[in-house]
Homo-oligomer: A and B are copies of this chain.
Amino acid sequence: MKITTFIGSSRAESNSELLADLVTKEIKHRKLYLRDLAIQPIHDLRHKEGGFQPVEDEYDTIIHAFLESDVLIFSTPIYWYSMSGSMKIMIDRLSQAIRDERFPQLTERIQSAEAIVLAVGGDEPKIKGLPLIQQFRYTFDFLKLPFSAYILGEGNRPGDILQDREALMQADLLNQRLKGAN
């Protein structure tokens, strides 16, 4: 079972990354730091003659991760009640990726994986993070990607997440399940 974690935070050792580390503790996995990848915002050319044009950036790294993973973990800080801009830029480009003739197998491959969302915020994330979860749900539904679990953790200052006992227990439960499946 291959696991990829997409790290959406802009800072090192972010709370959302810490939470992801707990979920993948002692399990082989790969981490992609979105802040370190050069990814262009999508240019929507669906309705233009010729359609989408090739983009010179590092988005293929993302596509390959989708192609190779059985578990896709989206780890993001909650910025303004939504995912980080870097993660949104990455998600937006999926519209182009699923139409990319170089990867005809992408759509089907995604459907056999599972998605997990880990989001950490400082302003009542367990309530105000709910719209974000609903959006991920609509997105995964569109992709027919099973949405197996999410955790909304609380944290603001570095390390805060380690005080959120509920999030820690949820992470531990997920970790046990992923270990068992390995």
Residues of A within 8 A of B (CB): 9-11, 14, 35, 41-45, 47-48, 77, 79-86, 88-89, 91-92, 94-95, 123, 126-128, 130-135, 137-139, 142, 147, 150, 157-158, 165-166, 169-170, 173
Contact A41 B84 (CB under 8 A): yes
Contact A91 B80 (CB under 8 A): yes
CA distance A134 to B127 in the complex (A): 7
Contact B81 A92 (CB under 8 A): no
Contact A142 B169 (CB under 8 A): no
CA distance A129 to B10 in the complex (A): 26
Contact B142 A123 (CB under 8 A): yes
CA distance A147 to B127 in the complex (A): 10
25 contacts between A and B (CB under 8 A): A9-B44, A10-B41, A10-B44, A11-B44, A11-B45, A11-B48, A14-B44, A35-B41, A42-B84, A42-B85, A44-B79, A47-B158, A80-B88, A80-B91, A80-B94, A80-B138, A81-B134, A85-B85, A127-B147, A128-B138, A130-B131, A131-B132, A131-B134, A131-B135, A169-B170
